[in-house]
Amino acid sequence: MPTQISLLVYKGVPVDFSKYRHTALHALYPDGQHDWLHAVGAHPFFKFQKDSENPMSEPPIAWIPVCTVPDSVTKAKIIFASIEIGTARTGWGEALTELVKIGCLTKEERRAAIGKMVETILEAELEDGHVTNALNDQGHP
């Protein structure tokens, strides 16, 4: 079984507003081990964190498949490329771009995963109590 990479989206804490939703990268390796790779802390003091078990108290609300990793990409390369998420200047788009650079996934897979992640984040309540809809935000009825 090759390595599988997914993006996970968790409900916002303390309330489920879009701005509080948490996202992590999940890697399931051929040996059955897991890594949850994510940024913790507050801007601009984010830091990279790697956990071998789900670090959140609840399961994710969305599990977005990103890619099946070619055998030539090692666990160490995935972790090293993912460290980008721990810096204050980058986000998931840039971190997944690093994974594209090492041959982990394609630009199309990156684009699709980011799109689904953004849709999931935008499904949360806004601070004014409304639920946003990603399609309406893009001008669609």
Is the confidence at residue 49, as pLDDT, over 80?
yes
User: HSE of 10 in the Cβ direction (CA atoms, 13 Å)?
Assistant: 17
pLDDT of residue 66: 95
pLDDT of residue 136: 44
Q: Which two tokens stand for residue 136?
A: 């309406």
Q: What does the alpha-carbon distance between residue 139 and residue 88 come to, in Å, rounded to a whole number?
A: 31
Which phi and psi (to 5°) does residue 28 adopt? -110, 115
Is the confidence at residue 128, as pLDDT, over 70?
no
Q: What does the alpha-carbon distance between residue 62 and residue 120 come to, in Å, rounded to a whole number?
A: 7
pLDDT tens-place string over residues 63-112 = 999 999 999 999 999 998 888 665 545 567 778 888 999 999 999 999 99
Q: What is the DSSP string of 20-36?
A: G-EEEEEEE-TTS-EEE
